[in-house]
Chains A and B, each alone.
Chain A
């Protein structure tokens, strides 16, 4: 609605002037007012474009702050953004060019041309770097290639990096009023190297550093036809993917292991082809049915780059996995105050890869190793169904009752296994929610759900060594489990200026059935978010949250059940944030945000068996303090200057790599304190 609060000194004087001369000099004044008004309307209604040109300075070398942006060395960085938009209103033709971070490692742009409701095509590019945040000192030769030589000499710092270059293109075309065709294509090239390694327990023994060469191309193509009318919508088409890996094996020599584990296999090229149909139909104005089905055939049939040990073994896996997914739902609000929903989802993963013998059973360790020498295709089926009813209760309450069933069937074709197995798994979840719109300024909900997972009898682990008994682990994947979850939310605006949001989420897991493996787990999440409007132009926000997750699990050492021990794993994530944003009367926009994140990990261990001692791993913490300031100064109506300051303080005492030395002498370390200051200035020009 109209407000005079926006009419500040300038408009005040104009109004005064107008009130004095109105009626006396109408023609001249009328034109002026008309022009002013037209200009204001044009500013609001014309499609605008903008360019930003500037630079920023990074104060210190860092590895975390610029991990995905490239702003990781003390230097001056240029910045150029463009957002060009042109609209021809006579025929609804849009022309857009969007570029961000042009000139930087994480640059991206999009060219988009369309005639609204008729056709559209676009071309895009996005580059995403990933710089390894760890400092590596190694003597490894041939990094980034498929032939590497482990060397104990020639240690030097090495920077590993990966880069994704994504090209995308698309085309839409409307065929008449109801039908359309869509084409999407992406081509992503991923290059670089990342931390890898190899290890051997004996004869010869050692753990050596390697770098995994990355030279991969991923392509996707989607073609679809759609029909959309008032009550019936359907689209169907093809979605194909093609993954090409030119680095399909890694030959390694040198070091203590020499060629013991060489060559090492890397992912082979693969592809998939999917046809799909998605449809929805309004059976009545208050009842709708949706449906989706897809059939995907995925293949890996690239010839093995490594010759199989068994002479008669196939030279290609000829892998084929056919996946069928059927989804349907029905939602109805035919009964006043009642809404009902039912859905069902069926997935059949049929691994049609031929089982063949690749390795000889004559290998002395074959049986003990739990192998027949055959590959192990994995098929599975799952059926998920859900019923949900909502009922409008008195006093503004609404109740929701949900029942879900998840049934899984897993094929277990292999004779030998290292993990106890279940062929069938069932989980039933019941959930009740009570929701109330307490007032127009507040809403709240509380819910409780109970999920119970059980399954068929276990097919035990077959792997024994030297007569050691098999364990009795309840695998996380399919352990019997009871899960209770409480959730409560409240969104409340006690004042027009103040909004408060509270969230509590608590779940408890209890694992049953077998003696070891996961025993219980608890997750809690607690958050308060606040926003307060200091004035029409200034707003302050504050948040605090804690996520606390614990998991307890047990197992025993290779010595057997006499050395049983337990692990109490806990993760606490705290987050605090405060921000003020606003605009001054002279048009200057300013903002300040201060955020603090603290992540604490505990890996406590204790002995279950008497007479057995266990030493816990040290706790470790990550802390991130981030302060962001900005100010936007208008120079003219279409020009402004923006200044940014960012302070990033990252700290940890994580011991993952501390003191760790590879057998080949490689070390991987990180600065435990990384402080970065960023100061940037940008000229902004807008036009319409």
Chain B
């Protein structure tokens, strides 16, 4: 009933905030009163001729039974409007009598979400999440008129007791992908559910592939630059999201991997690297992240370090493997020897070591021991 309440409460203070003077108000009041009189007569006459239209509130969707008002005479209706009624959730009238359509925070938008579907018996009430909040509802004596916050306000104040706030969600959201929440690094580091999820909106960024990554990078800010590097996944375009690879609610893998291991997660899209191959390359078997940084790098193919430096981090320097890299773009030198004259250098350009060792993830060629075993064909 906020508009009515506003009408009554606006009074002098609100009128004085406007540019009108007292004389102007009197003049305008008279004009408006005359117009209103005409409108009132007109509407009264119309109401007498036509059946009373259903209350607009009655058109509201479920829990419509609670919202619908009986068809009563206008004068009775006015009286009943002053009695708060539930708008979205059972028992929400205690809250929505203040947190109504004029509220700064659009609490009523929860009706657009799964939490606002009354037909699902599991849906919560305001109290389910925010607590009884008796002091918030009834300002205690001695508080000098300052209204205490609800028991669980879910704003910045949530940081004071994250576990209790999260429990409000966990009370219902159990199992499935939340089974391993307790014990996960996000849980252990006091990440509150509401730091990622917004409940009173139909557009929860955490639930949209196009926006969830931006939300993750609010905290994981170092990834913000990485996803803009020249070698990257299509995260900016919203074709991939952090949650494609990571399970923020807990996982049995390292780094909250979506699957049980780094490799199994990568195989979801890059199954060609799974093998097992006839000729395996050990780091490929062990962990893709030994060579690749999936968040973005300045080296093609998301490599962490530019070859041959990358390869030289493990391989012994025998033969050409420890040679110094050089910009050997000279076609003649390569035609004579890809390693440069006298094994002095190896190409740092083009695909570097992979110019020859092209099947670096593993080979399946059972012929020619030199080329196939060295992942060159």
In this assembly, does A16 line the interface, its C-beta being within 8 Å of a C-beta of chain B? yes
- Is A16 a contact of B15 with CB atoms below 8 Å? yes
Give A288 to B187 CA distance when docked, in angstroms.
Answer: 13
- Is B33 a contact of A20 with CB atoms below 8 Å? yes
Chain A residues positioned under 8 Å from B361 (CB to CB): 267
Min Cβ gap B148→A in Å is 12
Chain B residues positioned under 8 Å from A116 (CB to CB): 114, 117, 119-120
In this assembly, does B294 line the interface, its C-beta being within 8 Å of a C-beta of chain A? no
Contact partner of A42 among B56, B254, B351, CB < 8 A? B56
**Contact residues on B (Cβ < 8 Å of other chain), bracket:** 35 or more
- Is B60 a contact of A41 with CB atoms below 8 Å? yes
Binds B, one of A461-469, A582-590, A631-639, A675-683: A461-469
Contact partner of A68 among B4, B237, B356, CB < 8 A? B237
In this assembly, does A126 line the interface, its C-beta being within 8 Å of a C-beta of chain B? yes
Give A304 to B230 CA distance when docked, in angstroms.
Answer: 36
Chain A residues positioned under 8 Å from B316 (CB to CB): 418-420, 461, 463, 470-471, 473
Min Cβ gap B74→A in Å is 4
Q: A220-B268, A440-B156, A660-B349 are in contact. Are A351 and B276 (CB under 8 A)?
A: yes
Give A573 to B278 CA distance when docked, in angstroms.
Answer: 39
Q: A33-B3, A290-B183, A615-B326 are in contact. Are A241 and B271 (CB under 8 A)?
A: yes
- Is B343 a contact of A558 with CB atoms below 8 Å? yes
Min Cβ gap A365→B in Å is 6
In this assembly, does B144 line the interface, its C-beta being within 8 Å of a C-beta of chain A? no
- Is B373 a contact of A597 with CB atoms below 8 Å? no
Min Cβ gap A458→B in Å is 11
Min Cβ gap A23→B in Å is 10
Give A547 to B1 CA distance when docked, in angstroms.
Answer: 54
Which residues between 10 and 25 of chain A lie within 8 Å of chain B, taking CB atoms?
A: 12, 14-22, 24-25
Q: A30-B78, A31-B74 are in contact. Are A265 and B377 (CB under 8 A)?
A: yes
Min Cβ gap B260→A in Å is 5
In this assembly, does A399 line the interface, its C-beta being within 8 Å of a C-beta of chain B? no
Give A85 to B348 CA distance when docked, in angstroms.
Answer: 54
Which residues between 515 and 541 of chain A lie within 8 Å of chain B, taking CB atoms?
A: 516-518, 525, 527, 529, 536
Q: A47-B202, A117-B121, A306-B367 are in contact. Are A27 and B338 (CB under 8 A)?
A: no
- Is B2 a contact of A261 with CB atoms below 8 Å? no
- Is B298 a contact of A21 with CB atoms below 8 Å? no
The 0/1 profile, CB within 8 Å of B marked 1, for residues 389-430 of chain A is 010000000001000000000000000001110000000000
- Is B160 a contact of A359 with CB atoms below 8 Å? no
In this assembly, does B341 line the interface, its C-beta being within 8 Å of a C-beta of chain A? no
In this assembly, does B125 line the interface, its C-beta being within 8 Å of a C-beta of chain A? no
Chain A residues positioned under 8 Å from B362 (CB to CB): 267
Min Cβ gap B278→A in Å is 5
Chain B residues positioned under 8 Å from A64 (CB to CB): 230
- Is B366 a contact of A359 with CB atoms below 8 Å? yes
In this assembly, does B40 line the interface, its C-beta being within 8 Å of a C-beta of chain A? yes
- Closest B residue by C-beta to A574: B225
Chain A residues positioned under 8 Å from B338 (CB to CB): 199-201, 205-207
- Is B298 a contact of A599 with CB atoms below 8 Å? yes
- Is A197 a contact of B180 with CB atoms below 8 Å? no
Chain B residues positioned under 8 Å from A545 (CB to CB): 221-222, 224-225
- Is A68 a contact of B239 with CB atoms below 8 Å? yes
Give A668 to B355 CA distance when docked, in angstroms.
Answer: 13
Chain A residues positioned under 8 Å from B280 (CB to CB): 375-378
In this assembly, does B39 line the interface, its C-beta being within 8 Å of a C-beta of chain A? yes
- Is B6 a contact of A15 with CB atoms below 8 Å? yes
Which residues between 357 and 377 of chain B lie within 8 Å of chain A, taking CB atoms?
A: 358-359, 361-374, 376-377
Contact partner of B358 among A46, A198, A320, A571, CB < 8 A? A198
Give A12 to B16 CA distance when docked, in angstroms.
Answer: 11
Which residues between 329 and 354 of chain B lie within 8 Å of chain A, taking CB atoms?
A: 329-331, 334-339, 343-344, 347-351, 354
In this assembly, does A443 line the interface, its C-beta being within 8 Å of a C-beta of chain B? yes
- Is A128 a contact of B234 with CB atoms below 8 Å? yes
In this assembly, does A673 line the interface, its C-beta being within 8 Å of a C-beta of chain B? no
Give A35 to B60 CA distance when docked, in angstroms.
Answer: 12
- Is A493 a contact of B156 with CB atoms below 8 Å? yes
The 0/1 profile, CB within 8 Å of B marked 1, for residues 485-528 of chain A is 00000000100000001010100000000001110000001010
Q: A44-B106, A567-B309 are in contact. Are A196 and B358 (CB under 8 A)?
A: yes
- Is A241 a contact of B267 with CB atoms below 8 Å? yes
Min Cβ gap B308→A in Å is 9
Chain A residues positioned under 8 Å from B160 (CB to CB): 437, 440
- Is B367 a contact of A308 with CB atoms below 8 Å? yes
Chain B residues positioned under 8 Å from A345 (CB to CB): 252
- Is B364 a contact of A304 with CB atoms below 8 Å? yes
In this assembly, does B168 line the interface, its C-beta being within 8 Å of a C-beta of chain A? no
Give A668 to B350 CA distance when docked, in angstroms.
Answer: 8
- Is A358 a contact of B349 with CB atoms below 8 Å? no
Give A6 to B3 CA distance when docked, in angstroms.
Answer: 13
In this assembly, does A100 line the interface, its C-beta being within 8 Å of a C-beta of chain B? yes
- Is B103 a contact of A226 with CB atoms below 8 Å? no
Binds B, one of A54-62, A140-148, A449-457, A548-556: A548-556
Give A601 to B109 CA distance when docked, in angstroms.
Answer: 48
- Closest B residue by C-beta to A220: B268
- Is A197 a contact of B315 with CB atoms below 8 Å? no
Give A309 to B117 CA distance when docked, in angstroms.
Answer: 67
Give A614 to B363 CA distance when docked, in angstroms.
Answer: 34
- Is B159 a contact of A106 with CB atoms below 8 Å? no
In this assembly, does A1 line the interface, its C-beta being within 8 Å of a C-beta of chain B? yes
Which residues between 63 and 106 of chain B lie within 8 Å of chain A, taking CB atoms?
A: 63-64, 74-75, 77-78, 81, 87-88, 98-106
In this assembly, does B128 line the interface, its C-beta being within 8 Å of a C-beta of chain A? no
Chain A residues positioned under 8 Å from B224 (CB to CB): 543, 545, 575, 577
- Is A622 a contact of B230 with CB atoms below 8 Å? yes
- Closest B residue by C-beta to A573: B225
Contact partner of A366 among B18, B156, B290, B369, CB < 8 A? B369
Contact partner of B11 among A19, A306, A373, A658, CB < 8 A? A19
- Is B358 a contact of A264 with CB atoms below 8 Å? yes
Chain A residues positioned under 8 Å from B183 (CB to CB): 288, 290, 329-331, 341, 343
- Is B62 a contact of A90 with CB atoms below 8 Å? yes
- Is B159 a contact of A443 with CB atoms below 8 Å? yes
Give A452 to B92 CA distance when docked, in angstroms.
Answer: 56
Which residues between 2 and 61 of chain B lie within 8 Å of chain A, taking CB atoms?
A: 2-4, 6-8, 10-11, 14-15, 18, 28-29, 32-33, 36-37, 39-40, 42-44, 47, 55-57, 59-61
Q: A15-B14, A38-B55, A292-B180 are in contact. Are A477 and B290 (CB under 8 A)?
A: yes
- Is B98 a contact of A2 with CB atoms below 8 Å? yes
- Closest A residue by C-beta to B329: A659
Chain B residues positioned under 8 Å from A464 (CB to CB): 318
In this assembly, does A7 line the interface, its C-beta being within 8 Å of a C-beta of chain B? yes
- Is B355 a contact of A199 with CB atoms below 8 Å? yes
Min Cβ gap B274→A in Å is 6
Min Cβ gap B315→A in Å is 6
- Is A106 a contact of B237 with CB atoms below 8 Å? yes
In this assembly, does B226 line the interface, its C-beta being within 8 Å of a C-beta of chain A? yes
- Closest B residue by C-beta to A244: B271
Q: A116-B114, A317-B364 are in contact. Are A553 and B313 (CB under 8 A)?
A: yes
In this assembly, does B112 line the interface, its C-beta being within 8 Å of a C-beta of chain A? yes
Min Cβ gap A185→B in Å is 14
- Is B109 a contact of A89 with CB atoms below 8 Å? no
Contact partner of A477 among B10, B64, B104, B286, CB < 8 A? B286
Contact partner of B298 among A85, A365, A437, A601, CB < 8 A? A601
- Supplied contacts A4-B6, A378-B282, 15 more A-B pairs, CB within 8 Å: A16-B18, A27-B74, A87-B61, A198-B377, A200-B338, A202-B337, A226-B176, A230-B174, A309-B367, A325-B252, A341-B183, A464-B318, A558-B319, A599-B229, A599-B230
**23 A-B residue pairs with CB within 8 Å:** A2-B102, A20-B36, A28-B44, A34-B57, A44-B101, A46-B111, A205-B334, A218-B271, A264-B358, A264-B365, A279-B179, A325-B261, A358-B278, A371-B369, A378-B280, A435-B190, A463-B316, A501-B221, A545-B225, A557-B317, A558-B322, A601-B299, A657-B350
* 9 residue pairs, one from A and one from B, having the closest CB atoms: A38-B56, A199-B356, A233-B175, A89-B62, A92-B119, A45-B111, A308-B366, A228-B175, A659-B329
